[in-house]
């Protein structure tokens, strides 16, 4: 995954990786300067974006 970018860019990158055959990605939302609740929300929005485009 890129070291910096918007949530939409991360989603696009992950979708492209899965379309290329990647079966597993690791994204460490714990490195994001945010509260736990904000990181959980961000992770949820990331997963929904990857699932539904």
Q: pLDDT tens for residues 18-51?
A: 999 999 988 888 887 889 999 999 999 999 999 9
Position 1 in a domain? no
Please give the model's pTM, rounded to 2 decimal places: 0.77
Residue 31 DSSP one-character state: G
Instruction: Please list the alpha-helical segments (H only) found in the chain.
Output: 7-19, 36-52
CA distances from 24 to 34, 38, 40, 41 (A): 25, 23, 19, 21
Looking at the structure of the chain, the number of domains it has is: 1
With respect to residue 2, please indicate whether it lies within any of the assigned structural domains.
no
Confidence at residue 45, expressed as pLDDT on a 0 to 100 scale: 95
The Cα–Cα gap between 27 and 29 comes to 6
pLDDT of residue 2: 63
The whole-angstrom separation of Cα 33 and Cα 16 is 26
Task: Give the range of the structural domain holding residue 22, as residue numbers without chain letter.
Answer: 7-52
């Amino acid at each position: 995954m890129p070291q910096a970018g918007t949530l939409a860019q991360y989603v696009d990158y992950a979708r492209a990786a899965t379309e290329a055959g990647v079966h597993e990605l690791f994204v460490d939302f714990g490195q994001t300067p945010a509260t736990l609740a904000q990181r959980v929300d961000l992770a949820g929005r990331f997963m929904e974006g990857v699932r539904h485009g």
